[in-house]
Amino acid sequence: MKIHFKSSLISFFIAVYSLFECLYCQQEKTPNIIIIFTDDLGYGDLGIQGHPSIQTPYIDQMAREGQRWTNFYVAANVCTPSRAALLTGRLPIRSGTDTNEGARVFFPNSAGGLPPEEITIAEILKKKGYKTAAIGKWHLGHLPEFLPTNQGFDSYFGIPYSNDMNPTTNLTHAEANADPKIEYFNVPLMRNEEIIERPAQQNTITKRYTEEAQKFIVENKENPFFIYLAHNMPHVPLFASDDFLGTSKRGLYGDVVEELDWSVGEVLKTVKEYDLEKNTMVVFTSDNGPWTVLNVNGGSPGPLYGAKATSYEGGMRVPAIFWWPGKIEPDVIMDIGSTLDLLPTISKISGASLSQDRNYDGYDLSATLIENKKSSREEMFYYHGTNVFAARKGDYKLYFYENNPNGYPEKLGKLDELKLFNIQKDPSERFNIIEEFPEVVKEIKKLLKEHQKNVHPGENQMIKKI
Active site residues: 79, 139
* Minimum distance, C-beta of residue 291 to Mg ion, in the bound complex (Å): 8
Is residue 38 classed as helix, strand or coil in its secondary structure?
Answer: strand
Least distance from Mg ion to the Cβ atom of residue 126, Å: 26
Residue 439 CA to residue 393 CA, distance in Å, equals: 12
Q: Kindly tell me which of 220 and 339 has the beta carbon lying closer to Mg ion.
A: 339
Q: Does a cis peptide bond (omega within 30 degrees of 0) precede residue 116?
A: no
DSSP H helices in 308-456? 313-316, 342-350, 366-371, 438-453
Amino acid at 45: D
- Cβ closest to Mg ion, residue 103 vs residue 334: 103
- For Mg ion, the closer of residues 124 and 140 by Cβ is 140
To Mg ion, the closest distance from the beta carbon of 287 in angstroms equals 4
Q: Is 465 exposed, middle or buried (0-12, 13-18, 19+ CB in 10 A)?
A: exposed
> What string of DSSP letters covers 80-131?
HHHHHHHHHSS-HHHHT---SSS-SS--TT----S-TTS--HHHHHHTTT-E
Residue nearer to Mg ion on the CB measure, 131 or 231? 231
* C-beta closer to Mg ion: residue 259 or 287: 287
Cβ at position 292, least distance to Mg ion in Å: 13
Provide Rg for the chain, Cα atoms. Answer: 23
The answer to whether 402 touches 396, Cβ cutoff 8 Å, is: no
Contacting residues toward Mg ion, per CB under 5 A: 39-40, 79, 287-288
Q: Sign of the C-alpha dihedral, residues 60, 153, 136, 76?
A: positive
H/E segment holding residue 398: strand 396-402
| Helical spans, DSSP H, in 317-461 | 342-350, 366-371, 438-453
Length, in residues, of the chain: 466
| Minimum CB–partner distance for residue 78 and Mg ion (Å) | 6
- Considering beta carbons, is residue 248 or 288 the nearer one to Mg ion? 288
Cα–Cα distances in angstroms (integers) from residue 113 to residues 88, 162, 210, 217, 263, in the given order: 13, 14, 26, 28, 29
- Least distance from C-beta 40 to Mg ion, angstroms? 4
Q: Are 40 and 298 in contact (CB under 8 A)?
A: yes
Residue nearest to Mg ion (CB): 79
Check if the beta carbon of residue 139 is closer than 8 Å to that of residue 81. no
Residue 212 or residue 287: which is nearer to Mg ion going by CB?
Answer: 287
Q: How far is the CB of 41 from Mg ion (least distance, A)?
A: 9
Question: Using CA atoms, how far apart are residues 422 and 222, in angstroms rounded to an integer?
Answer: 48
